[in-house]
Amino acid sequence: MAMTLDPISQLDRFAASVLDSVRAPRPMPVDLFRDGDRYMMVADLPGIDPGSIDVDVDGGQLTIRAQRTADSREGVRWLARERGGGHFLRQFTLGEGVDLDGITASYDSGVLSVIIPVSERAKPRKITVDSTTDHPQSINA
The secondary structure of 71-130, three-state, reads CCCCCCCCCCCCCCCEEEEEEEECCCCECHHHCEEEEECCEEEEEEEECHHHCCCEEEEC
* Residue 80 included in any domain: no
Q: What is the CATH number of the domain that holds 95?
A: 2.60.40.790
* Residue 140 included in any domain: no
- What domain count does the chain have? 1
Contact 47/68 with Cβ under 8 angstroms?
yes
pLDDT in tens, the chain (141 residues): 555 556 666 666 666 656 554 567 777 899 999 999 999 999 999 989 899 999 999 988 999 999 988 888 888 888 887 777 889 999 999 988 899 999 999 999 999 999 999 987 767 778 888 887 766 566 666
* Residue 31 included in any domain: yes
**By residue range, what is the domain housing residue 108?**
25-69+85-121
Any bridge partners for residue 63, and if so which?
A: 56, 91
Contact 129/137 with Cβ under 8 angstroms?
yes
Tell which residue, 21, 13, 10, has the closest CA to residue 82: 13
* Residue 139 included in any domain: no
* Residue 64 included in any domain: yes
* Residue 55 included in any domain: yes
Q: What is the pTM of this model?
A: 0.68
